[in-house]
Amino acid sequence: MEKKKKAPLNYAEGLVKARRWCSLQERSHNEVKEKLLFYEVPYRDIQLIITELIGEGFLSEERFAKAYAGGKFRIKHWGKNKIAQQLQRKGVSEKNIETGLKEIEEKDYRTTIKKLIQKKLPSLKQKTPFEQKGKLAQYLMTKGYEAELVWNILNDVID
């Protein structure tokens, strides 16, 4: 049996779908645009829908950047570099990326790095502090933490 192909959505249908989707969690403008393209909403209507969503308060790139940065830091323990990189991939402006990163308190940031070090340290096979620092630095920088900060904290934590 052949599946029926759904007809492309018009402006009104696309707006309803987008409102519902945006009400579930914060979305970036690009995510909404991609979703509407998936539903085959005409491109001229996509721009109008996004403008409408912004006007109605369903869509805010600044709010998205704050929620994304805070969530990725608290839940996945990502560093600022990785968060900024992912926000750029989602098409968020530099200004909003900076605003989002300000949601992360410096004290919490440093504390998280120290917790990650303490959690990772027992699993390391390296014997010397030099080798341990190297592996830990590599691990933390992969998670998006800044090299200079990582090394400063590692030098304080490991003798």
pLDDT value at residue 5: 58
Neighbours of 135 (CB within 10 A): 15
pLDDT value at residue 127: 79
- Compute the CA torsion angle 62, 63, 67, 68 (nearest 10 deg): -40
CA 37 distance to own-chain centroid: 22
For the chain, 159 residues long, the average pLDDT of each consecutive 10-residue run is 70 96 96 95 96 97 97 97 97 97 96 96 87 95 98 90
pLDDT value at residue 141: 98
Question: 11-59 — its CATH code?
Answer: 1.10.10
pLDDT value at residue 3: 54
Delimit the domains of the chain by residue range. 11-59, 62-101, 106-157
pLDDT value at residue 70: 96
pLDDT value at residue 25: 95
The rounded distance, in Å, linking the Cα atoms of 42 and 15 is 12
pLDDT value at residue 2: 53
Cβ–Cβ under 8 Å, residues 73 and 94: no
Question: The tokens of 38 are what?
Answer: 């998936």
